[in-house]
């Protein structure tokens, strides 16, 4: 059976999503999980875009040995040299060169002729080829480019040594049938096409990224570029989990396979959501909270009698924990460790002790501790491991009579205990003002959201906030049964990320 190559671009196009910035360690953490997931290629970043991106690609190239590690480069000599510097230590390096091809881009953005673009595409692939054999080329905005011109570009770059040619629907404009025709036409009209893998890269502006990708696969494309949870520029990219599960579930139709270890999907999805701060909509296919929940009585009756009646996939195949086992305050360290292992976490003794202490504290407040609670708890522990400022105490007073007041105590990077109090329009505002006075780094709060991660009045509340400083957005998350405490943790988390990125502390 033919294999579809899975090219994951969560760390590059995914990270381009507004507000989705990740730091170097977070990128490495995601890359490790992508390796476990079994992706063939990790597009680790765009090295020329910033020193941070360069360092992240370099680190991933050094550490992650099984997948191909790819770096993106514009069709400029300096970009290509920098991309190579970043991936040169990879076991399997790839350079991905791109250049706009549509008349719209040529006329309004690049102000270049088709001949110039054709020549540059060829020459830059030749340049990249001096560094490594594995070269991918993308004619950007291909879906709005005259097909005959795409054929010419592809022929030229394959002659120059490109081993993968990628057809991007950059602005998510294509319709499945039309995109399928474009791919079919490429196979028929590019004379040297057999010397390269045909790849596709679809954006989701019309909600068609997965449909377009699958149509292209039907036409013979054998590499799909996609992201976890479909995150990416604007409306996002094609979602990896949807493509992989469509190919797997409808093997009868596609007669294709992937090397994805599907039981790692859920964990990868949670990790990406956690680190980017992008929550997953409940009805999101495959990984949404409702994706395997049956509400209607008729459906529930069918599923109890035989799951296949209303379930086309077994939730366990994507790693959704099947166990309904809940832990409580009498559960011991052993049971806690077992449950963590079943959820895919392997913590060292020190982290286990911290997580177990947090679990006991939670179990005192909450009768049943569910898998989602445990995931949130482990995430919370991981967030606090390398923080500069640590939230020591917070106390608020609020109500419809008095002026909301917050008193905050923080531990500074040098171990000093800092305390202050502030008034605000509400308890969260007061708390943010007090923290800001203590930390003293200018920033603007641009987003604040709170949600309960499990049902029930004693549920853990999870807060996601975004702050902006010098044009860059930093996301922070915090979880606690008390939403004011969760808000303070989220704010400290975002500030710590800002401080680390600006090299001020941490």
Q: Which residues in this chain contact Zn ion in the complex, by CB under 5 A?
A: 13
Give yes or no for residue 98 binding ligand KIV (CB under 6 A): yes
Give yes or no for residue 170 binding ligand KIV (CB under 6 A): yes
| CB-based contact 99:126 (threshold 8 Å) | no
Residue 26 CB, nearest approach to ligand KIV (Å): 21
Closest to Zn ion by CB, 142 vs 217, is: 142
Nearest residue to 182 via CA among 225, 139, 142, 122: 142
Encoding tokens for residue 191?
Answer: 């004379």
Q: How far is CA 482 from the centre of its chain?
A: 28
Residue 128 CB, nearest approach to Zn ion (Å): 19
Among 45, 67, 168, 476, binds ligand KIV (CB under 6 A): 168
Residue 282: strand, helix, or coil? coil
Give yes or no for residue 13 binding ligand KIV (CB under 6 A): yes
Stretch that binds ligand KIV, among 166-174, 246-254, 271-279, 307-315 (CB under 6 A): 166-174
Give yes or no for residue 201 binding ligand KIV (CB under 6 A): yes
Q: How far is CA 110 from the centre of its chain?
A: 30
Residue 201 CB, nearest approach to Zn ion (Å): 6
Give yes or no for residue 14 binding ligand KIV (CB under 6 A): no
| CB-based contact 478:463 (threshold 8 Å) | yes
Distance CA 479, CA 451 (A): 10
Which residues have C-beta within 8 Å of that of residue 376, sequence separation ≥ 6? Answer: 453, 460, 462, 479
Residue 68: strand, helix, or coil? strand
Nearest residue to 200 via CA among 50, 7, 459, 330: 7
Residue 321 touches which of Zn ion, ligand KIV, none (Cβ within 5-8 Å per kind):
none
Residue 13 CB, nearest approach to Zn ion (Å): 4
Residue 116 backbone zone (phi > 0: left; psi -120 to 50: alpha; other: beta) = alpha
Give yes or no for residue 140 binding ligand KIV (CB under 6 A): yes
Residue 204 CB, nearest approach to Zn ion (Å): 10
Closest to ligand KIV by CB, 137 vs 359, is: 137
Neighbouring C-beta atoms of residue 462, cutoff 10 Å: 25
Closest to Zn ion by CB, 234 vs 451, is: 234
Closest to ligand KIV by CB, 107 vs 308, is: 107
Residue 471 CB, nearest approach to ligand KIV (Å): 22
| CB-based contact 278:17 (threshold 8 Å) | yes
Interacting residues with ligand KIV (CB under 6 A): 13, 98, 138, 140, 166, 168, 170, 201, 203
């Amino acid at each position: 059976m033919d294999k579809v190559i899975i090219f994951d671009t969560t760390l590059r196009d995914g990270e381009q999503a507004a507000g989705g910035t990740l730091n170097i360690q977070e990128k490495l953490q995601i890359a490790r999980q992508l390796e476990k997931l079994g992706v063939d290629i990790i597009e680790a970043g765009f090295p020329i875009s910033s020193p941070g991106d360069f360092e992240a690609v370099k680190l991933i190239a050094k550490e992650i040995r099984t997948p191909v590690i790819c770096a993106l480069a514009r069709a400029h000599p300096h970009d290509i040299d920098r991309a190579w510097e970043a991936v040169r230590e990879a076991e399997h390096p790839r350079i991905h060169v791109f250049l706009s091809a549509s008349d719209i881009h040529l006329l309004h953005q690049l102000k270049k002729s088709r001949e110039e673009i054709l020549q540059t595409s060829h020459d830059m692939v030749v340049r990249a080829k001096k560094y490594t054999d594995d070269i991918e080329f993308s004619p950007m905005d291909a879906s709005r480019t005259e097909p005959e011109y795409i054929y010419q570009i592809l022929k030229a770059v394959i002659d120059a040594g490109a081993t993968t040619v990628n057809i991007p629907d950059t602005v998510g404009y294509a319709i499945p049938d039309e995109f399928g025709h474009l791919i079919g036409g490429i196979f028929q009209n590019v004379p040297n096409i057999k010397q390269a893998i045909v790849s596709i890269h679809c954006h989701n502006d019309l909600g068609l990224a997965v449909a377009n990708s699958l149509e292209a696969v039907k036409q013979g494309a054998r590499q799909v570029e996609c992201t976890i949870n479909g995150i990416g520029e604007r409306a996002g990219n094609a979602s990896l989990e949807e493509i992989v599960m469509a190919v797997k579930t409808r093997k009868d139709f596609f007669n294709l396979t992937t090397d994805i270890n599907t039981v790692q999907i859920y964990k990868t999805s949670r990790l990406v959501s956690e680190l980017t701060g992008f929550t997953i909509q409940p009805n999101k296919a495959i990984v949404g909270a409702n994706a395997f929940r049956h509400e209607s009585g008729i459906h529930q009756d069918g599923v109890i009698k035989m799951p296949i009646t209303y379930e086309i996939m077994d939730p366990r195949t994507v790693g959704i924990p099947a166990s309904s086992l809940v832990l409580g305050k009498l559960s011991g360290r052993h049971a806690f460790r077992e449950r963590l292992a079943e959820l895919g976490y392997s913590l060292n003794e020190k982290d286990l002790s911290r997580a177990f202490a947090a679990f006991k504290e939670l179990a005192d407040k909450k009768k049943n501790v569910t898998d989602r609670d445990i995931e949130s708890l482990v995430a919370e522990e991981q967030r606090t491991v390398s923080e500069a400022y640590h939230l020591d105490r917070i106390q608020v007073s609020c109500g419809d009579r008095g002026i909301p007041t917050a008193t905050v105590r923080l531990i500074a990077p040098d171990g000093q205990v800092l305390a202050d109090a502030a008034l605000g329009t509400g308890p969260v505002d007061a708390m943010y003002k007090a923290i800001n006075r203590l930390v003293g780094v200018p920033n603007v709060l641009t987003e604040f959201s709170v949600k309960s991660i499990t049902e029930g009045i004693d549920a853990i509340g999870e807060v996601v906030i975004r702050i902006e400083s010098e044009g860059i957005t930093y996301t922070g998350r915090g979880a606690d049964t008390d939403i004011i405490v969760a808000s303070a943790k989220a704010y400290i988390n975002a500030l710590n990320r800002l401080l680390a990125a600006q090299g001020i502390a941490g």
